[in-house]
Amino acid sequence: MNTDHHSSDQERSRSTTAPERSGERIVRANGVDLCIETFGDRSDPVLLLIGGAASSMDWWEDEFCERIAARGRYVVRYDLRDTGRSVSYPAGAPGYTGQDLAGDVVGLLDVLGAPSAHLVGISMGAGIAQRIALEHPQRVSSLTLLSTSPGGTGGPDDPELPPPADHVRAMFAEPAPEPDWSDRDAVVESMVEELRAFGGTHPFDATRLHRLVGRIYDRTTNIAASQTNHWILEDGEPIRHRLREIDVPTLVMHGTADPLFPLSHGEALAREIPGARFLPLEGGGHEFPAVDVWDVVVPAILDHTAG
């Protein structure tokens, strides 16, 4: 289902206050408006970053993107539907499926004029990347999969893989009340505290995260939808049984202290994709690469995409 229909109950609850960054632009891809930003030389190989659920492009931090682009990659990050400045829908009623999110990536490659790209996905984004490698293999130069599970699922009902940590299961069983989405301070505090629950053993940099989440709040069209809709999407057919069909170079990186998908999820994923390389991230949680692991993650991505 590809639609960008807007309804009155989906109006912004507030005006965004962050200035639009100079490199951002809205493009029409897969029938919807998506916000993208690029780094580096357009003549270099395309490396497309796919965020996790409820995550705008901001989580792929500026310096992270710049470090990769400086070494000869054309880095593209984008706001998934319902995040940042991309198309948004009423909170609780996403007008699209998980399959459409995969279609958006292919549509972005069309817009960029890129026959294929190195896909770097995290969590749900890594599940999207796995699906694209199966359904559109000619568009994928390589896969880098972070903090995910075979087929991108592997939740608490998967009998073959360990469940989330007790504190995460408790949080899912009794979720905290929603904040007042119009209250910037309350929303930022709520989001940062949720991040704390998914962290690993590295020091939790609350100051940095408050600043980053504040930026996300300020440039997100509908913050309630951004934090709601990805969790209730219908997905396509399961793909785990097909992972052996993936025949592009694959790197799996996984935090050793991931409380949502314990380490064996990443190990299983690397086993099930032929020839995949596995790189554990010591002390890493279920989180976008933090500054203290960039010296591991960035060289690994550059090495993996050098071909």
User: Is 118 annotated as catalytic?
Assistant: no
Task: Output the pTM of the full model.
Answer: 0.92
Q: State how far the Cα of 215 lies from the Cα of 174, in Å rounded to an integer.
A: 28
Instruction: Supply the CATH classification number for the domain 8-304.
Output: 3.40.50.1820
- The whole-number pLDDT of residue 307 equals 77
**Which of 86, 230, 258, 304 is flagged as catalytic?**
258
**Which of 118, 202, 286, 304 is flagged as catalytic?**
286
- The tokens for 25 are 């632009």
Tell me the residue type at 193: E
**Which of 56, 88, 123, 142 is flagged as catalytic?**
123
* pLDDT tens, residue order, the chain (307 aa): 333 434 333 333 433 445 455 589 999 999 999 999 999 999 999 999 999 999 999 999 999 999 999 999 999 999 999 999 999 999 999 999 999 999 999 999 999 999 999 999 999 999 999 999 999 999 999 999 999 999 987 655 677 899 999 999 999 999 889 999 999 999 999 999 999 999 999 999 999 999 999 999 999 999 999 999 999 999 888 999 999 999 999 999 999 999 999 999 999 999 999 999 999 999 999 999 989 999 999 999 999 999 7
- The whole-number pLDDT of residue 160 equals 84
- Per DSSP, 165 falls in state P
CA angle 7, 12, 18 (to 5 degrees): 145
Query: In the block, which residue shows the tokens 């930026």?
Result: 215
Q: Collect all residues with Cβ–Cβ distance below 8 Å to 122 and sequence separation of at least 6.
A: 50, 51, 52, 55, 146, 147, 148, 288
